[in-house]
Each structure stands twice: as structure tokens, then as C-alpha cells.
């Protein structure tokens, strides 16, 4: 007897899903807004990572109206740690469109949903099928893998045409009246059983007629051309420590309103010309004192939510920590290695040229790596003293030459003390400081501000700087 492999697949998968589906918070309701939020969060991110973020996000923004009316900074803060922050911005923009065009109710209409900001074919299919039970396919990487194996498809899934063909195939498999459960079943099968590297064929509900398995090709499929590897970039960042009224604080800046990581906060940092790949910076491993746990608890209270290691490490390999820190401050007289001294001079010079901010790096402190889809940041972090903000008309060559002396920094001796000492060296330091004082602007550059640990509760940072600052606050205690 000939078996209809399509009918077999649909019926067996649907039965398996209804008996084995996971109890996930977004499955407690068919509310299209909740489905929409969950599907956006789940893009490139594991389910177990998303759950706490989803619950906090829905507590903060329980309705489309609440999300649409919130300041973007609050939305980014609630998204902090999930990565791919354009998802959060697009989600809020889409919510505002729903408020403006549909009175706050997600439309039960596929073309209208597809037209919302940030909603692509997959998200449109998920919303329409799960929330409204419409027979719309929802094809993501999991679905393409499952169907490529089951039907032994040899087309390259990296090509747009292949995705379109698989969407047509998936639509033809949807059982009448069960679109939501079927699409979720496909996703569930790909996530739990038909996994990329070690498919659990013996527990698969459609194993009997899987053409890929029967041909012994389940490990070869799907066929996918490799994407271009991300471009490596090396960056030097400064943890600029405050003194006097800013003691205990560090200097941060806000990114531009458009572009990569728009409007988020970060440490001052510069791109190293020609830098590509991890630096050879060396430092001893951190001393882990008893105060570390107290600092970690304080940070968790001030900067929650923070997952263990951050969510980006779980987001399809988007971010990974490669962190080394040296906590023991070297002796004041100890000179940095020549290579590190050259790097610190580059950091000092570049910040002054780019932002008129004059800082003096003291020593290398840690390294962190952050992987975007198209670039990899290797971030070398230096502890630094705050010096000055230069006037726009300052002669940078003259100022930078004077700044080579540590005596000109406000964390060092005052001018009165230098004058009183009478030594030729101190008199030169006083002269250098006088040169700098004539070019000083007391206002920080636009977008810069001093923050303490408590400010981490309000400001949204990209994961790489979140990790660096977490290490810093923990080690300070």
C-alpha cells in the first residue's frame, strides 16, 4: 500500500506536538501581541534564554499601548542582554503603527501584519497561524532543516528561492483547522529532535518515512553555503575613573541615534587602525576576593536583568566572553611594557583627536570579545585617569605633548604644591599644566556622563560593555 508521506507527516507531527509540547509562557495565551513579542525575542536566541526576558518584558509592557507609549530607552533597557537590539526598536515601531492604524489591535489580516515594521515572512506566519489559526506557513531555520531532511531536498537553504519553495511546501502540509499547533510542532521538532548536528532520529515521530534518513543523508542535510565570516576589528577602550566629586564613578558615552547599537551607552573606545584579531596583551589572572560575591549581588540588584554570561552567548553565537582581568594595581613607578605603552598612547591620542577628551591610561585591565553578524570586536580595556576636555580651538599637538607628563592630571599634585616644591622637574610639570589649563573646557563632550553602579539600573549597554562594567564593579569591592 502506498503511503501519502505528506499526510503521514502532518498527522504524526500534530499528534506528537499535542502530546509533548513544552509548557512555555507565551503558549498560555493566543493574544497576538504576546505571540508577536515572543517570536521576535526567539529570533536567533534559545528558548531557555528568552523565558525570563519575555516575562519581565510583558510585566513592564503588558499591552501594545504600553509598549508604544514607552520611551525607547526603557524598551532597550528591558531588552538589555538579548542582543540584536534593532529587534526591540522595530517591535516598538510596529506597536506604534498598530496604535496609529488599527486602534491598538493587531489586524487579522496577513498583508497588514506583514507591513508592520520588523515583521518578515516568518513572523507574519507565526502571528497569523498561532494567534488567528490562519493557514500561513512559518518557515525558519528549524523548519527548513526538518523539511529538507524529511523530503531529502538538495536545494541550498541559504538562497531566497529555496526558502520560497519550502514556504509553499510547508503551506501544503498544514492540517485544516490546526495551523497554529502544526507550525509550533514543526518548530518544536527542529528544536528538540531534528537538531543540526545530532538528530534524534530514533525518537522522531516521522522517522518511518523520512527520506533523508532512509538515504543515510540526515547529517548532510540541509545543504547550506557558508556565510562570509565576520570581519575582525580591534578596539581599545578606557575605563576612565573619576576623582574628587566624581570619585567612584566612571565615564561613559551614548552612541548616535542611528547605526550599530544606536542610542545605547558604552565606554569610550577607539578603532585600532589595521587592528585584526586578539591582541597579545598579557596580564595575571584576577585575584578573587571575598568581596566579589557582595559586589555581584549589588550589581544584580542595580543592573538586573543579567543572565549568567549574558544572553548573547546563547544567541546563535552572537557574543562570547574572552575575559582576563588583573586586579592588583601595579606600583606607581612600574612602567608598562613597550607594546602596552604604545597602545595606551594610541588610545590617549585617538580619544583626544576624536572627542577632545584627554585621558591618561594607566594599565591594561582586561580583554573582551563580542561577535556581531558581520564583525568581531576584540576589545582591550585600560584603566585610565581623567584629564581634561579640550577647547575646540586647542592646538592638539602642543596639548598632547604637554599631556605626556602624569603631573598635569587632576588626580595628581595641585599647581600650588608643584610651585612650592621649587624643583626644576616640578616647575616643568607646572608649566605643562598651565599650558593645558589654557585649553580646558569644563563641560564634558556631548553624550558623555559620569555614572556609578546605581546608574546601571537605568542605562542600556551593549553586552560587551555590560560584561566589562560588571567585572569592574565586582572587582572594585
Using an 8 Å Cβ cutoff, are 133 and 180 in contact?
Answer: yes
Give the Cβ contact number of residue 322 at 10 Å. 12
Please identify which residue in the block is written with the cell numbers 515521530. 205
Among candidate residues 12, 39, 74, 369, the one labeled active-site is 39
375-389 vs 357-371, strand pairing mode: antiparallel
- Asked about 391 being catalytic, the answer comes back as no
Q: DSSP letters of 122-179?
A: HHHHHIIIIIH--------HHHHHHHHHHTT--SBTTSHHHHHHHHHHHHHHPPTT-H
Kindly state the DSSP code that residue 422 receives in the 8-state scheme: -
Buried/exposed code over 30-57 (b: 16+ C-beta within 10 A; e: otherwise): ebbbbbbbbbbbbbbbebebbeebbeeb
Give the Cβ contact number of residue 245 at 10 Å. 7
What's the N-to-C CA distance of the chain in angstroms? 74
Phi, psi (deg, nearest 5) at residue 355: -130, 0
Using an 8 Å Cβ cutoff, are 195 and 207 in contact?
Answer: no
Instruction: Point out which residues pair with 451 in neighbouring strands.
Output: 250
Structural element, H or E, at residue 370: strand 357-371
Q: Which stretches of 302-348 are assigned E, i.e. beta strand?
A: 324-325
Q: What is the dihedral of CA 370, 373, 375, 381, to 10 degrees?
A: -10
Q: Annotated catalytic sites, by residue?
A: 39
Amino acid at each position: 500500500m502506498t503511503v501519502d508521506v505528506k499526510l503521514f507527516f502532518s498527522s504524526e507531527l500534530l499528534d506528537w506536538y499535542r502530546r509533548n509540547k513544552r509548557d512555555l509562557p507565551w503558549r498560555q495565551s493566543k493574544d497576538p501581541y504576546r505571540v508577536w513579542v515572543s517570536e521576535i525575542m526567539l529570533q536567533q536566541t534559545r528558548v531557555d534564554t528568552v523565558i525570563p526576558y519575555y516575562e519581565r518584558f510583558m510585566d513592564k509592557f503588558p499591552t501594545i499601548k504600553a509598549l508604544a507609549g514607552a520611551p525607547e530607552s526603557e524598551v532597550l533597557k528591558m531588552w538589555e542582554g538579548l542582543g540584536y537590539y534593532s529587534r526591540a526598536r522595530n517591535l516598538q515601531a510596529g506597536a506604534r503603527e498598530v496604535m496609529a492604524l488599527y486602534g491598538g489591535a493587531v489586524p487579522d489580516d496577513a498583508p497588514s501584519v506583514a507591513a508592520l515594521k520588523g515583521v518578515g515572512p516568518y513572523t507574519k506566519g507565526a502571528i497569523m497561524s498561532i494567534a488567528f489559526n490562519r493557514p500561513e506557513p512559518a518557515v525558519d531555520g528549524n523548519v527548513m532543516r526538518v523539511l529538507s531532511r524529511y523530503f531529502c531536498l538538495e536545494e541550498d537553504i541559504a538562497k531566497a528561492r529555496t526558502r520560497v519553495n519550502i514556504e509553499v511546501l510547508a503551506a501544503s502540509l498544514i492540517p485544516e483547522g490546526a495551523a497554529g499547533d502544526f507550525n509550533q510542532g514543526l518548530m518544536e521538532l527542529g528544536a528538540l529532535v531534528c537538531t543540526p548536528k545530532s538528530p534524534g532520529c530514533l525518537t522522531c515521530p516521522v522517522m518511518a518515512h523520512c527520506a533523508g534518513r532512509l538515504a543515510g543523508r540526515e547529517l548532510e542535510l540541509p545543504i547550506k553555503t557558508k556565510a562570509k565570516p565576520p570581519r575582525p576589528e580591534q578596539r581599545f577602550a578606557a575605563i576612565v575613573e573619576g576623582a574628587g566629586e566624581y570619585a567612584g564613578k566612571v565615564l561613559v558615552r551614548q552612541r548616535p541615534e542611528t547605526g550599530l547599537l544606536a542610542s545605547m551607552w558604552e565606554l569610550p573606545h577607539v578603532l585600532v587602525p589595521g587592528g585584526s584579531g586578539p591582541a597579545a596583551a598579557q596580564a595575571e589572572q584576577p585575584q578573587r576576593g571575598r568581596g566579589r560575591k557582595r559586589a555581584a549581588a549589588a550589581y544584580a540588584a542595580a543592573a538586573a536583568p543579567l543572565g549568567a554570561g549574558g544572553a548573547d552567548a546563547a544567541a546563535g553565537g552572537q557574543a562570547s566572553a574572552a575575559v582576563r582581568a588583573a586586579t592588583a594595581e601595579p606600583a606607581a613607578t612600574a612602567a608598562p611594557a613597550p607594546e602596552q605603552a604604545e597602545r595606551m598612547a594610541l588610545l590617549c591620542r585617538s580619544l583626544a583627536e576624536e572627542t577632545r577628551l584627554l585621558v591618561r591610561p594607566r594599565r591594561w585591565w582586561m580583554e573582551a570579545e563580542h561577535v556581531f553578524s558581520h564583525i568581531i570586536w576584540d576589545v582591550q580595556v585600560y584603566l585610565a585617569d581623567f584629564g581634561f576636555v579640550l577647547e575646540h580651538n586647542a592646538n592638539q599637538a602642543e596639548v598632547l605633548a604637554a599631556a605626556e607628563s602624569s603631573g598635569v592630571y587632576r588626580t595628581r599634585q595641585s599647581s600650588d604644591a608643584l610651585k612650592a616644591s621649587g624643583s626644576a622637574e616640578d616647575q616643568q610639570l607646572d608649566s605643562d599644566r598651565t599650558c593645558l589649563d589654557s585649553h580646558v573646557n569644563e563641560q564634558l563632550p556631548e553624550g558623555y556622563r559620569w555614572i556609578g553602579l546605581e546608574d546601571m539600573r537605568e542605562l542600556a549597554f551593549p553586552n560587551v560593555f555590560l560584561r566589562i562594567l560588571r567585572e569592574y564593579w565586582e572587582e572594585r569591592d
